[in-house]
Every structure is written in structure tokens, then in C-alpha cells.
Amino acid sequence: MQRRGFHGRGGGHERWKPSRPYHVALEDSYVRARWDEINALCKLNSIPFNATGEKIRDGGLWCVYEFTWQMDAIMFWDRFEGRWLRGNEFHYPERPKDLPAMKPLTNWPKFDPRNARG
């Protein structure tokens, strides 16, 4: 079932693969500080994510990830404070009311910004 407001990125760029139409951007420092947690949560929840290598400068530096399945992209977007992409712009859809939560990591240390990599 397709969720309203969460459209594919659309055409217009040679790196945007039709097989992975959903794109989510995460702020670079957020990814660097939480990479291990992001990677572990995606593996635990069977959410395959792939960095496109694209970087966007818009109030910070944003790293773009691509997804085949809309629900994987929505769960990633929601859990990791992402920005949904349509074309070259950030899109701010409303969070679906019935969005399933990711399975949590057990025994994972709480994030401490003092320990973040810079």
C-alpha cells in the first residue's frame, strides 16, 4: 500500500535509479555521530539502505540514501530525522498515524554527543 505524500524522487538526474525511487537525506554530522546505531538498526529491521554519494548543502550538509520500497524509506526517514526528497528539494510530509516502529536495539548505549566523532 502506497502512503500518501511520500512520492518517489522523480526523474532528472542520471544517478537516480528507477529501481530505487525513494530518497531520504540525513544531516552529515548526525550520520557521523550515529553511524553504528543507524547501521545496526537497519540490519536488525531488514531495511537495506544505500548511500547515493550525493551531498546536498541546505542549512547544513546532507547525505542522500536511496530505497526500493516506500515503507523502508518512510521508516528510515522517521527514525533518523531525515528529509524526504522530491526532485532537488526537501519535502515535509506528515508522519503517518499507523507507521510501524522499528524494532529497538537491546543493550545499546544511549547517545552521548560528547562521544561523537567529529
Domain boundaries, the chain: 22-92
CATH classification code of 22-92: 3.30.70
pLDDT of residue 118: 52
Estimate the share of the chain in helix, then strand, then coil, as percent rounded to the nearest 5: 25, 25, 50
- d(CA 95, CA 74) in angstroms, rounded, equals 9
pLDDT averaged per 10 residues, the chain (length 118): 78 70 96 93 94 94 96 96 93 92 86 64
CA 52 to chain centre: 11
pTM (predicted TM-score): 0.85
Give the pLDDT of residue 117. 53
Under 8 Å CB-to-CB from 83, ≥6 apart: which residues?
A: 24, 25, 26, 62, 77, 90, 91, 92
Q: Give the model's pLDDT for residue 16.
A: 72
- With cell 538526474, the residue in question is 13
